[in-house]
Amino acid sequence: MSERGTPLKTAQSLDRAPSCQAITPPPKRGRWPAGRKGVFHGRKRASLLFSLLLAGAALALPAHAEPPARVMSLNVCTDQLAMALAAPGQLVSVSFLARDPDLSPLHREAERYPVNRGMAEDVFLARPDLVLTGTYTLHNTTQLLKRLGFRVEEFSFVQTLDTIPRDIRRMGALLGREGEAEAMAADFEAGLAEVEADSCEPRPTALAYEQNGVALGKGTLADTVLTAAGFRNLATEEGVEGMAPFPLELVVEKKPDIVIVPGGDGDAPSLGAFVPRHPALRALPATRIGAFVPRGSWSCGGPAVLEAVKALHALRREIAPCRKAP
Amino acid sequence: MKPLALNLALALLALALFLASLAVGPAELGLSESVRGLFAGGGEAASIIMREIRLPRALLGLGIGFTLGMAGAVLQGFLRNPLAEPGIIGVSAMAAFGAVAVFYSGLAGAALYALPAGALAGALAAVLILMALAARNGSTLTLILAGVALSSLAGALTALVLNLSPNPFASYEIIFWLLGSLKDRSIEHVWLALPLMAAGWLLIALSARAIDALSLGEEAAASLGIHLARTRFLIVAGVALGVGAATAVAGTIGFVGLVVPHLVRPLTTRMPSRLLLPAGLGGAALLLAADVAVRLVLPAGELNVGVLTALIGAPFFLWLVVRARREVF
């Protein structure tokens, strides 16, 4: 069931391919500043020209002066930051995946927003001032939207613990919510520093084992979370870069101390979910297998990742208490 | 070749490939280590790898290959059609659709038994449709065209169900259902599929005498005392059970049932009943060989085994079509 061709997915990359049909350019929108009617009443030519220049400048710099009033998020990870930071009424819709409890820590909040399927048509109809999306997914949609004149801000899908405070602050700046973002980012950094200050030997081995037997290796969010919580990531030590298939036989051979598997699969089964629950893993006598991190907490780089770090840190202290300093 | 000698030779070949299947995998186990692991039990890594990962895979390769080979042989004999095969005439595709429809809809939770339940129903529907068509109009072409239509329809419906699933990972499993794989199966899959496949083998074996008589034509067979309705029931149920169970745990693996009977037939007396066992053993050998090969070609990621069987089988199918045009089969 785990095939080589199977696209390796992170929550960050989960979107539907866009359909690009039947798109026409949006009609020009009135962006002239209010009060421009006065410009032509008996003024001198120079003044008129100057006013036109001013108006032109106003046209070239839309929205930056004041926060965007209508923001639309197309990616489950930008959804998290946008829902956490946006002012009431500012966020007009989030991606449909934002309601999936396995991918979206803020899935309850997402019920309050309309959802989009990440299609260019959705955006076109909603006419947002700002579109938030991921760099990896919906690439065609992003290009199309930019060509149609929408302001699109992309967030990198390569996320680690280091990128999270940066992304929070950037989202705050984009939404005009710098204060809230700064507080959130500082909280995150402080919480993380507290956990990292408590690191000690020995460091047990852990493997984040996803659907279809895909392991999360070097450069992934999970890798940095495991390291921060005081584990060694088996996948990284075995040379896995990013997300890659990790043969079941190797898991058994290397006997990691813990295997972190996806939590419940809800009411929509898939065959890939059987691989991390294979009887061969359960037969390992000393290996602990479980979800261990709160549901959906580390699928996206957002403030909820701290919950995953804390949960794993507590687990590490339980299974491998710190050696006393000599 | 004497039937006994042929069966013995094919059985030895299948056994050798079964052992090869046990010996191949990403974990590098030595020979003595793997033998000890297989029989010792306990919590050692070698033992878990052999008993929980490689043994189920090899057993399924053996059983599914046997089923597909035998099903191909009985369908070719009964329908008197050299191109008949569970994959080509759409039985496997319908079985896959049945399994997908029952499993991904979540009707049975995430229970594994939903897979064979749906697959058997799909395979049964396919065999009944094809038999109804073939009974009215016995031409080779009708059956193959009906199979093409059934396969495309089932493939499209499979894709539809997978795309409708709210689980975002489901739509990527279409490659498994269309091209089959034996990767990461467990002993649970063996218990699920093997008894059903064995029941299928038994039913097909019971039809052996009747398909010999049927090679003389239906009227001649009836005059020899062959009960046609009973024969049809045995073959329909046998193929549906066997192919349904095989597809439920391994997806659609095509062409095994086509290639093997043709390869083995010249070595037999050409009596359809005498082909069943050798075709089964040959099918097991072919599938095991293909499954060993996919692990050697791409050790980490692995190719779908159906890719390999199609690479062997599709050119063979074309060759059969060309040959069938030249001579009346």
Inform me whether the pLDDT recorded for B65 exceeds 90. yes
Kindly state whether residues A79 and A155 are assigned to the same domain. Answer: yes
Tens-digit pLDDT profile for residues B289-300: 999 999 998 876
Inform me whether the pLDDT recorded for A306 exceeds 50. yes
Q: Which of A97, A102, A209, A252 to mutate to test the interface with B (most CBs of B within 10 A)?
A: A252
Q: Would you state the pLDDT for residue A27?
A: 33
Kindly state whether residues A152 and A80 are assigned to the same domain. Answer: yes
Residues 6+ apart with CB under 8 A from B139: none
**In terms of DSSP bridges, do strands A258-260 and A288-290 run parallel, antiparallel, or are they unpaired?**
parallel
| Domain finish residue from A160, A179, A212 | A160
Closest to B68 measured CA to CA, from B82, B51, B87, B49: B87
Is A190 inside any structural domain? no
For B44, which residue in chain A has the nearest alpha carbon? Answer: A284
Closest to B242 measured CA to CA, from B76, B21, B91: B91
Is A270 inside any structural domain? yes
Residue B168 in contact with residue A98, Cβ under 8 Å? no
Is A222 inside any structural domain? yes
d(CA B55, CA B194): 13
Q: Would you state the pLDDT for residue A158?
A: 79
Nearest 10 degrees: CA dihedral of A236, A239, A241, A245?
A: -100
CATH number of A109's domain: 3.40.50.1980
For B184, which residue in chain A has the nearest alpha carbon? Answer: A275
For A255, which residue in chain B has the nearest alpha carbon? Answer: B45
Is A9 inside any structural domain? no
pTM: 0.83
Inform me whether the pLDDT recorded for A299 exceeds 80. yes
Instruction: With cut-offs at 50, 70 and 90, classify the pLDDT of residue A59.
Output: very low
**B→A interface, C-beta within 8 Å:** 25-27, 43, 45, 48-49, 52-54, 103-104, 106, 109-110, 112, 165-170, 172-173, 175-176, 179, 181, 183-184, 186-188, 298, 300-304
Six-digit token string for B169? 């990972």
Residue A99 in contact with residue A68, Cβ under 8 Å? no
d(CA A86, CA B69): 62
Share of chain B above pLDDT 90, in %: 62
User: Which CATH number fits the domain B57-326, given the four candidates 1.10.8.590, 3.20.20.70, 2.40.160.10, 1.10.3470.10?
Assistant: 1.10.3470.10
Q: Would you state the pLDDT for residue B228?
A: 85
Mean pLDDT of A147-165: 90
Q: Would you state the pLDDT for residue B29?
A: 84
CA distance B224 to chain A (A): 48
Q: Would you state the pLDDT for residue A20?
A: 29
Q: Would you state the pLDDT for residue A265?
A: 57
CA distance B58 to chain A (A): 15
Q: Would you state the pLDDT for residue A9?
A: 41
Inform me whether the pLDDT recorded for A30 exceeds 80. no
- The lowest-confidence range among A50-59, B78-87, B302-311 is A50-59
Kindly state whether residues A74 and A155 are assigned to the same domain. Answer: yes
Instruction: With cut-offs at 50, 70 and 90, classify the pLDDT of residue A36.
Output: very low
- From the number of C-beta atoms within 10 Å of its C-beta (0-12, 13-18, 19+), residue A111 rates as exposed
Q: Which of B22, B28, B167, B171 to mutate to test the interface with A (most CBs of A within 10 A)?
A: B167
Mean pLDDT of B261-271: 91
Is A288 inside any structural domain? yes
Q: Would you state the pLDDT for residue A268?
A: 78
Domain ranges (residues) in chain B:
57-326
Share of chain A above pLDDT 70, in %: 77
Instruction: With cut-offs at 50, 70 and 90, classify the pLDDT of residue A324.
Output: low
Kindly state whether residues A149 and A209 are assigned to the same domain. Answer: no
Inform me whether the pLDDT recorded for A162 exceeds 80. yes
Residue A26 in contact with residue A148, Cβ under 8 Å? yes
Is A302 inside any structural domain? yes
Closest to B204 measured CA to CA, from B224, B232, B225: B232
Is A296 inside any structural domain? yes
Mean pLDDT of B313-322: 88
Inform me whether the pLDDT recorded for A14 exceeds 60. no
Residue, of B107 and B162, whose pLDDT is higher: B162
Kindly state whether residues A129 and A222 are assigned to the same domain. Answer: no
Inform me whether the pLDDT recorded for B70 exceeds 50. yes
Tens-digit pLDDT profile for residues B252-263: 999 999 999 999
d(CA A300, CA B62): 43
Domain hosting residue A222, numbered range = 201-319
Q: Would you state the pLDDT for residue B162?
A: 93
- From the number of C-beta atoms within 10 Å of its C-beta (0-12, 13-18, 19+), residue B262 rates as buried
Tens-digit pLDDT profile for residues A201-247: 889 999 999 988 999 999 999 999 999 999 999 999 999 999 998 99
Inform me whether the pLDDT recorded for A15 exceeds 70. no
Q: Would you state the pLDDT for residue B295?
A: 92
Number of structural domains (chain A) is 2
